[in-house]
Chains A and B, each alone.
Chain A
Amino acid sequence: MPQCKECKNFFPVPENEWDYEKGAGDCVRVLRDSKGKYWHARKTKEEMNALKCTDFNKR
């Protein structure tokens, strides 16, 4: 079962950050729509099951 921490889009939240929690990370994706490109970050956990994630990109 793939996990978020194995994905290239996963960036762990550094320990000195305000929103740090053990195992927490940012899922950073490049998204595009009719108006252009943007970089999107949402919270995730390193142990999260990524089986159904269409953006999973193994390191």
Chain B
Amino acid sequence: MASAAVLEEISRELKIDRKGQPFGKVLWEKKIKEGPGSTPRTKHLYQRCRWAHTAGGEYVREDIKVSLERARLYTEGHKANAGELPIVIRAKCLEHYLKNCSIYIQDEELIVGSHNEYPDRLELFPEGGAKNMMDYLEDDTVTPPELYDEGVKMVEYWKQWSLSSRCERYFDPESLEKLSTGVIGEVPVWAHFYTSTTPTYQSVLEDGLEKRIKWCEDNIKNARDKVKTFPWRGEENFPLFEKIDVWEAMIISARAVIGWARKYSRLAKIIAENLDLSDSVGGAGQRKKELLEIADICARVPAEPAHGFRDAVQSKWFCFVVAQNIERYCSGYSQLEDDLLWPYYKASVIDKTAQPISREEAVELIECERLKVCERTVTKGRWMRIIHPGINDLHILSIGGLDENGNDMCTDLTDVILEAALNIHTNEPSIAFKYSPKCSEKTRRLVYECISQGFGFPSIKNHEKNFKHSMEYHGWPPEVAARWALVLCMAPGVTGRRSTQHSRNEGGSGIVGPAVGTLALSDGFDAWFSNKQCGAHTGDASKFTWEDLLKAVEEQIKHNSQLMFMNKEITSYAENKWLESPFLAMMDDWNVEDGVGAFQRYNKPYTNTWADYYPGPMGVIDDLAAIKYWVFDKKKYTMGQLLEALKANWQGHEEMRQEFLSAPKFGNDDDYVDEIANWFFNVSCDVWAAHKMVGWEKGATIVPQSVSAFVTLGSMIGAEPFGRRHGEPLHDGGCSPYMGLDKKGPTAVLKSVSKLPNERIKGIQLNQRLPVGLMRESEKGFDVWSAYMKTWHDLKCDHVQFNVVRTEDMRSAQKEPEKWEHLIVRIAGYSARFISLSKMAQDAVIARTEQELG
């Protein structure tokens, strides 16, 4: 389709009358004038959306409060079943909760299902441990005083049973202390109870839970028949007893989920048939019809296979609520949504063979889904809340890409998902686009229009690069590798019916990138935040040669990553033994076939062992380049003088700081520093590969990225040799140049990035800022951006995401936030409402270099 025709079609679908104006400009003005939402329903739902995001670790809306319903019911369930096997206890706790929990349906909703007692309520997870529970209970801005004593009693009860207590016993005190500082890496899962997963929705949508229950029952029957077979075979039969327990736990969980979904069916029917609906946006008659349809859908799914689009969206939502909000809190919204839902969309919208609906109704349903995500309240630990300002959670779905034969996987549903995002203007869920030049022009145009509206998403991942990496480094077969979706911000994971990533302990967690450089200069001692020996002893840096310095950095990488991988595997062991998720397991074909829990990783068909640097380590590269330049090449300063200046946080050494700032910097296509970057990442990849996690002999792969940690962890990382002072923001992303220090334009940035060993790196985050005038207000924006993307793709870069926002708009939003509630910016890995960011984070976004294209 020619470009003009594509634009006409999109304009028609989005009801944009361009009158010769650039599309993006007209859409922006329409949004300002009419507000988000393509229908009266979604306009209403947007206006009353219960945003649940945090800023500075605190919930922005005062209405967000703690409830103890989940904690109470899980505690009751645990007490009543304490003699059972751990996985059966987990299933019975879920059953007890789903049987007795409150439910609610909000006005105008088309998708139902929630994880909390009332809207705006935070549910707690006492089985995680005392730290996170107490942090919430002692915060009287969220916990009503009447709940405090009951909550403390629960903490006492769970002390001996919690994930924290199960894990801490395996650490020596020194390692425990180092991990707890937060300086060298992510705070452990058992401390902040933060994890992530990719539920295998496809199996539930295709089979329905009743069929999967039958599968488990057959497995139990076969196992019982096997052990009766003459003659006795102990080696074969012994493992079957544990599998029987797992299958029974799966059955309990799945039956409970079906029953819980049917509670919604019952409620919808009661409302439709008994209660006043006269104030509904579409009128009482219309709302009654909708509620009866909801009742019908919830009676059938997820028990039965989904037939049409409404079934599929509802079934997926129910599974998400249970697997990621009730059974366990899990971050993310991981799925390849267009591929997953396409058969149901096709049946309903195109073929009209099941639940026939119009394309506009499908767009509205996706808008409703986006709003539902924006209302999700989560209770992750404070360290995580602090590095995720402006959002509820890291909600990122993936779309696009090519199949294993190189055919475009973009469909009309891909375009519907993007059009819904354009209409409803929410920052969550973020979207990752699996970019290939072979993807349809209409889809690429819609991706561009979302970016030009300033959403910061879709973030772009190179499909071909990630397809190849998934096959070569993880061993996934082509048909699996082609259907990757991001697990959280940056790392591809398996989708489909089997062997997806279930825990952050398989793929995730990370070490703080800049710390491996600063600790190498201080013999591993952190004098800036914890005042503790966090890193390895690597000697007195004042006596270092250049080679000594590189060796010390490498030792710090090894030391910190060793602690991280040890912690991941200890937590994984404890989760599998004590804190299983039987419903998540029941969704996955491999777990049902083999009768193993969700966190089992031995003999897993497709593994995904990776970990982050976050924030990214580019500060180390600029630090090393500045030291090499001024200390070892120019010999103007000694290492001793540099360490004195750093100890003084550069105070009294401004002239020297300016010289170190002027040393070669990454992002300017300068081999002097780019070669150091290449060395650093190759060493890091070697170290990661040396760590062999359970289930994968090739070792782990690396994902440098930052979320908002580049701002919030600035207070933990001391002064850096490249010129940064303690407390100032760190490098953002995984390979973004430092703000304002990339001076040679966007192509030079891409060329520097292309010199990294990208083929070895699983994902590496690049943030770029582009001008509003070109992207939103110019007819040539799409062509210029497409040329940029061609260069990016030709250079085999992994990732890029864009901010398209005016400095003056951000300044205005700082002064009058109430007028700029709609302003969204890209942080790094996710998009946030600008007004919810800290002043420091806002300033860091403003300070990013605005690249000129064309």
Contacts and interface: CB of A to CB of B under 8 A. Distances in A.
A34 interface: yes
B372 to A, nearest CB: 13
Give the one of A19, A26, A34 with max B CB within 10 A: A19
A11 B63 contact: no
A36 B119 CA distance: 10
Contact of A11 (B49, B256, B259, B270): B270
A43 interface: yes
A18 B262 CA distance: 8
B98 to A, nearest CB: 8
B263 A41 contact: yes
Contacts of A36: 48, 106-107
A40 B270 contact: no
Contacts of A43: 100, 102
A13 B262 CA distance: 11
Nearest to B114: A38
A23 to B, nearest CB: 15
Contact of A38 (B100, B119, B262, B276): B119
B4 interface: no
Contacts of B255: 18
B819 interface: no
A16 B451 CA distance: 51
B263 A40 contact: no
A54 B48 CA distance: 27
A52 interface: no
Contact of B266 (A17, A31, A33, A38): A17
Interface string B72-85: 00000000000000
Contacts of B107: 36-38
B119 A39 contact: no
A34 B267 CA distance: 23
A40 B270 CA distance: 11
A17 B259 contact: yes
B99 interface: yes
Nearest to B49: A35
Interface in A6-59: 11, 13-14, 17-19, 26, 28, 30-31, 33-43
Interface string B257-275: 0110011001100110011
Contacts of A30: 275-276
Interface residues of B, number: 29
Given A28-B271, A41-B267, A18 B259 contact: yes
Contacts of A17: 259, 262-263, 266
Task: Summarize B's interface: helix, strand, loop or mixed.
Answer: mixed
A58 to B, nearest CB: 16
Nearest to B109: A38
A39 B263 CA distance: 13
A35 B48 contact: yes
Given A17-B259, A18-B255, A26-B266, A39 B102 contact: no
Contact of B63 (A18, A34, A37): A34
Contacts of B267: 26, 28, 39, 41
Contacts of A11: 266, 270, 274
Contact of A39 (B99, B120, B275): B275
Nearest to A21: B99
A13 B50 CA distance: 30
B105 interface: yes
Given A19-B99, A28-B267, A39 B262 contact: no
Interface string B86-114: 00000000000001101111110000000
Contacts of B102: 40-43
A17 B63 CA distance: 34
A38 B50 CA distance: 12
Contacts of B104: 31, 38-41
B573 interface: no
B178 to A, nearest CB: 44
B578 interface: no
Interface string B114-132: 0000111000000000000
B120 A35 contact: yes
B760 to A, nearest CB: 48
A40 B102 CA distance: 7
A15 to B, nearest CB: 13
B63 A41 contact: no
B119 A35 contact: yes
Contacts of B63: 33-35
B270 A26 contact: yes
Interface string B47-70: 011100000000000010000000
A19 B99 CA distance: 6
Nearest to A14: B266
A47 B48 CA distance: 37
A31 B49 CA distance: 16
Contacts of B50: 35
The 10 lowest CB-CB distance pairs between A and B, nearest first, are A18-B259, A38-B106, A42-B102, A40-B104, A36-B48, A37-B107, A19-B99, A35-B48, A41-B267, A38-B104
9 contacts: A14-B266, A18-B99, A18-B259, A34-B63, A35-B48, A35-B49, A39-B105, A40-B102, A41-B103
Interface of B: 48-50, 63, 99-100, 102-107, 118-120, 255-256, 258-259, 262-263, 266-267, 270-271, 274-276, 279
